[in-house]
Amino acid sequence: MIAVIEYGAGNLGSVVNALTHLGVPHVVTDDRATILAADGVIFPGVGATADTMANLRARGLVPVIAEAVERERPFLGICVGQQVLFSTSDEGARHDCLDVLRGEVRRFPDDLIVPHMGWNGVRRRHEHPLFAGIPDGAEFYFVHSYYVAPVDDALVLGETEYGVTFAAAIARGPLVATQFHPEKSGRWGLQLLHNFAALVERGLRIADCGLRNDEGAGHGPRPPRPASPIPQSAIRNPQSS
């Protein structure tokens, strides 16, 4: 079961529609217990990092997100949901973000047209199950004026060129995040969301986040996962969206 964090993000409906199209059961929630009980978490986002942080604080979600990451279950941040995972942002007055990952959010150089909006290719640094079945250089949909600059360059999973080379996707164990919007990226975006759901279904942990696409190879059969403690009445199935 995937929990989609509800905090007023503008792209939440698009994410839910994509999951519904793929037949992925999910629950949209800002409830701590429900988020922490989920097998995986999606953290969507559009807009400004300062507004996002204000909304997260207002709903008491800052410590919840940190705890969800610490529990080492698959976690996908999207767009601003990627940016605020880092330490600070220069958007507006410099301000603190979640500091789950060390690094900062920077504005594109002044000589570039912003926002960077439209389709652009993502070159992978290495293979990862999140991109299984997706060709290197596949195009995804972007709309942003800021980008993340991780302290640890090894976090960068995929990169894109727009005046500068920036991190379009990052990964640390079961935590992954994208600057682009997979829910608006057609075939390859749906494939990426399908891959994330597959990681959730497998119960991905840090040891399973190797640099290979042969999913589960060498790990042997997995024991059955326990039933989700999330009430069935809270779950959005494909027929009920």
Instruction: Indicate whether 151 pLDDT > 90.
Output: yes
Among 143, 140, 153, 212, which residue's Cα sits nearest to residue 182? 140
Instruction: Reply yes or no on whether 79 is catalytic.
Output: yes
Distance of CA 37 to the CA centre of its chain: 18
The tens digit of pLDDT for each residue in 92-120 reads 999 999 999 999 999 999 999 999 999 99
Binning the chain into helix, strand and coil, the percentages to the nearest 5 are: 30, 25, 40
Q: Which residue has the higher pLDDT, 202 or 153?
A: 153
Among 163, 161, 165, which residue's Cα sits nearest to residue 149? 165
**Every domain of the chain and the residues it spans:** 2-231
Show the beta-strand stretches assigned E in the chain: 2-5, 26-29, 40-43, 75-78, 88-89, 95-96, 103-107, 116-121, 123-124, 139-144, 146-150, 156-162, 164-172, 175-178
Residues 19 and 200: beta-carbon distance below 8 Å: no
Task: Tell me the whole-structure pTM to 2 decimals.
Answer: 0.85
For CA atoms 26, 35, 47, 126, the dihedral sign is negative
Question: What pLDDT shows up at residue 209?
Answer: 54
Instruction: Reply yes or no on whether 183 is catalytic.
Output: yes
Q: Which residue has the higher pLDDT, 131 or 206?
A: 131
3-state secondary structure of 186: helix
The tens digit of pLDDT for each residue in 170-201 reads 999 999 999 999 999 999 999 999 999 999 99
What is the CATH T-level fold of the domain 2-231, as seen in this structure? Rossmann fold (3.40.50)
Q: Specify the DSSP class assigned to residue 133.
A: T
Please tell me which residue in 116, 128, 181, 194 is annotated as part of the active site.
Answer: 181
Residue 232: pLDDT band by 50, 70, 90 thresholds?
A: very low
What percent of the chain has a predicted confidence (pLDDT) above 70?
Answer: 84
Please tell me which residue in 79, 104, 144, 159 is annotated as part of the active site.
Answer: 79
Question: What pLDDT shows up at residue 94?
Answer: 95
Instruction: Indicate whether 237 pLDDT > 60.
Output: no
Instruction: Indicate whether 241 pLDDT > 60.
Output: no
Please tell me which residue in 26, 91, 183, 209 is annotated as part of the active site.
Answer: 183
Instruction: Indicate whether 42 pLDDT > 90.
Output: yes
Question: What pLDDT shows up at residue 37?
Answer: 96
